[in-house]
């Protein structure tokens, strides 16, 4: 029965293969002009990359810069050649439909073979040699995707005293690796040294369609609708062009993940179908690829529809009602039940002059054709999945709650004198919220604790500042424990200065403290205090924020930051750069991406301070731009700041310029699956110690076994 599926599947593929080249990508290369060969063969980027890295480690920074820059150019050129040859050959060698009668499939395969020969010839000419020279390992491919060459480049440029180029390389790397705090600090240092302002930072790998989209949003937000239209239209042209390139690059080798390559013995139609379906799924996913910023896993919500949402209103504001109507109808191709935009369509139609028939105004052609292909692909993939027995679930590419967050969501939301608007519903789409009820003000549970500030007074959401959570005696005792158990770089793979080269970082966990206490290296009573006060903090946070479920520890860490003498002059960095605790903060996009490597399971955070005999070290909250400070807190013994762990609470620590700043850092989760393992072990040790203290020895367990 399996063999019967393949021929019908191939026939199903033909309509999609035979769609004419899309109109929105610009004119393809002329079918009469053969591609011109490049002068000299293109050097493989993996060899140039390896040479550049080797030169870097040997100290030859000039050669490192030369070869790394050449590797980046080669990588970029290879992509251009592959995409261009795919477009050229699609036009030069179209796949003709099979004729009727005997050998009906031969014209199709002849066209297929001609396309393959064209593509190979085109690549060979443009590359200056066989394409096989440019097959690289997955490790090298991953390095270029993560922009690792720019990490080497920024260091090499610094060695060559080329600060502005170092800033560019560092910024380009950081844009794809926002969790790399050391690079963030490097950028600040380089900018200060070179006098480079924020607006001069250049992302050398920036995607044009994203840059134009961001520019459009900025102009829209200041009511400069003419320029907003210019940039959104430019963003769409670049988007559809990038889409063509993305789709062309999907036509490369596939991995056949469900098969061992050497044992793969599929027949003709099986092999064609297996390969083509992987290509088609890849092409279908270009929608997600183009909406995803470098280094992120999650796409910008509702990205493509938002272009038309912004445009429909911008065109309305400049009096171009026909174009506003075209864009609104285009948006409805993606969200046909959006009540706001349906109302807008009715309103725009009422503004047309009597000579224009509203029924003659259609959705924009660029999106109409795009969606026609997208739906055909979706139907074909689902049909193939059912017939061939593989699993496929169509993602929701146009998530509705990614809407414009402004009061111009519909024309009736505008507050401008002289603008007369009738018959529209007023509405504003709310921002995405934390996925739980937000409450605060619950009991503090313990006597002597002093309430200082709530969220409103701290200019934010889910924040609280408390004093006297620890007594002076407890602070001194904990500080004594710290000096006996701290390990340099603990929690950061032994890095002495993980956040700044101007401070020494030390840390220790609860379990380590109990281990040292049991062994007599620190007083067991003091080690037990570390455990007890962290549990006290957990109960306070759970109660104050009125949580309906148990709050669990996800990590408990006693930390000290010590200013390094001789390194504090003209210092302008932070002790801990601005970040959020459960998402990757993206200040330029005003977003926080809740995806790995962020600790996405964290829900609440707390810092319990042990001393104030140091200079600097203020804890700060900022806006999502990581620059605008909304609250600043001076640590002191017994003071505790607690807050929700998401992008609503970006925070950092100002430079410690003298002395040592110590605190107990606590992160909590509502998900028991992410309970801190060391904490569970510490709970068991405490239970056993309590049994021993009461003189009960029913459990024949040595506490040291748990340590």
pLDDT tens digits, one per residue of 588-625: 778 888 877 788 899 999 999 999 999 999 999 999 88
Tell me which H or E stretch contains 681: helix 677-693
Say if residue 419's pLDDT is above 80.
no
Predicted pLDDT of residue 414: 34
Predicted pLDDT of residue 413: 32
CA distance 389 to 382: 10
pLDDT digits over 518-530, tens only? 888 889 999 999 9
How many Cα atoms sit within 13 Å of 277 on the Cβ side? 26
CA angle 312, 316, 317 (to 5 degrees): 120
Query: 604-609 and 640-644 as β-strands: parallel, antiparallel, unpaired?
Result: antiparallel
CA distance 290 to 305: 13
Nearest to 560 by CA among 633, 634, 497: 497
| From 66, 661, 675, 679, the catalytic residue | 661
DSSP, res 129? S
Say if residue 155's pLDDT is above 70.
yes
Q: What DSSP string runs through 403-457?
A: ---STTSSGGG---TT----S-----PPPP--SS---------STT-EEEE-TTT
Tokens encoding 674: 């992410």
CA distance 476 to 479: 5
pLDDT digits over 337-372, tens only? 888 899 999 999 999 888 888 889 999 999 999 999
Say if residue 38's pLDDT is above 70.
no
DSSP, res 493? T
pLDDT digits over 96-147, tens only? 554 445 565 667 777 778 888 888 888 888 888 888 888 888 888 888 988 9
Say if residue 176's pLDDT is above 90.
no
CA distance 591 to 598: 14
pLDDT confidence band for 252 (50 / 70 / 90): confident
Tokens encoding 676: 């801190």
Say if residue 32's pLDDT is above 50.
no
Q: Tabulate helix, strand, coil % of the chain (nearest 5).
A: 50, 10, 40
Predicted pLDDT of residue 474: 95
Percentage of residues in the chain having pLDDT higher than 70:
80
Nearest to 631 by CA among 464, 459, 466: 459
Mean pLDDT of 453-468: 95
Predicted pLDDT of residue 707: 55
Predicted pLDDT of residue 262: 45
Residue 4 designated active-site? no
Rank 307-321, 375-389, 671-685 by mean pLDDT and report only the highest. 307-321
Predicted pLDDT of residue 494: 52
* Domains of the chain, each with CATH number or no CATH: 45-98+106-207 (no CATH), 209-256+267-388 (no CATH), 450-693 (2.60.120.620)
3-state secondary structure at position 367: helix
Q: In whole numbers, what is the pLDDT of the chain averaged over residues? A: 81
CA distance 578 to 505: 17
Q: Where do the H-state alpha helices sit in 250-338?
A: 268-284, 286-290, 303-317, 321-334
Rank 161-165, 394-398, 402-406, 542-546 by mean pLDDT and report only the highest. 542-546
pLDDT confidence band for 28 (50 / 70 / 90): very low
- Tell me the β-bridge partners of 187: none
Tokens encoding 182: 């050391």
Q: Could you tell me the CA-to-CA distances from 692 to 318, 525, 697 in Å, in that order?
A: 80, 14, 6
Which residues have a Cβ under 8 Å from the Cβ of 67 and sit 6 or more positions away?
48, 49, 51, 52, 55
pLDDT confidence band for 194 (50 / 70 / 90): low
Cα maximum dimension of the chain = 97
CA distance 342 to 321: 15
Mean pLDDT of 376-381: 90
Say if residue 319's pLDDT is above 80.
yes
CA distance 380 to 121: 31
């Amino acid at each position: 029965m399996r063999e019967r599926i393949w021929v019908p599947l191939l026939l199903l593929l033909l309509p999609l293969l035979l769609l004419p080249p899309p109109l929105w990508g610009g004119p393809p290369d002329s079918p009469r002009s053969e591609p011109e060969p490049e002068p000299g063969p293109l050097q493989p980027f993996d060899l140039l990359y390896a040479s550049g890295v080797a030169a870097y480690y040997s100290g030859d920074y000039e050669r490192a810069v030369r070869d790394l820059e050449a590797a980046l150019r080669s990588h970029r050129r290879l992509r251009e050649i592959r995409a261009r040859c795919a477009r050229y050959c699609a036009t030069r060698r179209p796949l003709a439909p099979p004729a009727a009668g005997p050998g009906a499939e031969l014209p199709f395969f002849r066209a297929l073979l001609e396309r393959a020969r064209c593509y190979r010839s085109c690549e060979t000419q443009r590359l200056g040699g066989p394409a096989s020279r440019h097959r690289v390992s997955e490790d090298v491919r991953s390095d270029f995707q993560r922009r690792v060459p720019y990490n080497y480049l920024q260091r090499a440029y610094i060695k060559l005293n080329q600060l502005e180029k170092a800033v560019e390389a560092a910024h380009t790397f950081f844009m794809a690796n926002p969790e790399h705090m050391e690079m963030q600090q490097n950028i600040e240092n380089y900018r200060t040294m070179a006098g480079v302002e924020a607006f001069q930072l250049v992302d050398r790998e920036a995607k044009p369609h994203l840059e134009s989209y961001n520019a459009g949003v900025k102009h829209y937000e200041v009511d400069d609708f003419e320029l907003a239209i210019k940039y959104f239209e430019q963003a769409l042209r670049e988007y559809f062009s990038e889409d063509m390139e993305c789709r062309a690059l999907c036509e490369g080798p596939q991995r056949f993940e469900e098969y061992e390559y050497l044992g793969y013995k599929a027949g003709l139609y099986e092999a064609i179908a297996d390969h083509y379906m992987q290509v088609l799924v890849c092409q279908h996913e270009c929608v997600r690829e183009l909406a995803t910023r470098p280094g992120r896993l999650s796409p910008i919500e509702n990205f493509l529809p938002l272009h038309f949402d912004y445009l429909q209103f911008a065109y309305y504001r400049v009096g171009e009602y026909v174009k506003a109507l075209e864009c609104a109808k285009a948006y409805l191709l993606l969200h046909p039940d959006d009540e706001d935009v349906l109302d807008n369509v009715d309103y725009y139609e009422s503004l047309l002059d009597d000579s224009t028939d509203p029924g003659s105004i259609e959705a924009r052609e660029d999106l109409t054709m795009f969606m026609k292909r997208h739906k055909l692909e979706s139907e074909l993939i689902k049909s193939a999945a059912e017939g061939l027995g593989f699993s496929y679930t169509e993602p929701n590419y146009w998530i509705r709650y990614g809407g414009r967050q402004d009061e111009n969501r519909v024309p009736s939301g505008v507050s401008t004198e002289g603008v007369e608007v009738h018959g529209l519903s007023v509405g504003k789409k709310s921002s995405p919220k934390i996925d739980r009820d937000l409450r605060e003000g619950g009991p503090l549970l313990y006597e002597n604790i002093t309430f200082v500030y709530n969220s409103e007074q701290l200019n934010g959401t889910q924040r609280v500042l408390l004093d006297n959570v620890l007594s002076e005696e407890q602070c001194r005792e904990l500080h004594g424990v710290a000096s006996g158990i701290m390990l340099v770089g603990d929690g950061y793979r032994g890095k002495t200065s993980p956040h700044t080269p101007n401070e020494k970082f030390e840390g220790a966990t609860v379990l380590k403290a109990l281990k040292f206490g049991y062994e007599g290296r620190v007083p067991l009573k003091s080690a037990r205090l570390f455990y007890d006060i962290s549990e006290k903090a957990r109960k306070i946070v759970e109660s104050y924020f009125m949580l309906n479920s148990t709050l669990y520890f996800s990590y408990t860490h006693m930390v000290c930051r010590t200013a390094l003498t001789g390194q504090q002059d003209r210092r302008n960095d932070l002790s801990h750069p601005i970040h959020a605790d459960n998402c990757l903060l993206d200040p330029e996009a005003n977003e926080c991406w809740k995806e790995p490597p962020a600790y996405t399971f964290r829900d609440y955070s707390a810092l319990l301070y042990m001393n104030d005999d140091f200079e600097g070290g203020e804890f700060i909250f900022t806006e999502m731009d990581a620059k605008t400070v909304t609250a600043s807190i001076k640590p002191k013994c017994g003071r505790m700041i607690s807050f929700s762990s998401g992008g609503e609470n970006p925070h950092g620590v100002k430079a410690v310029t003298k002395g040592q700043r110590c605190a107990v850092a606590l992160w909590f989760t509502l998900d028991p699956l992410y309970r801190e393992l060391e904490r569970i072990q510490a709970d068991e040790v405490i239970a056993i110690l309590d049994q021993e203290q009461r003189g009960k020895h029913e459990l024949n367990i040595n506490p040291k076994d748990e340590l």
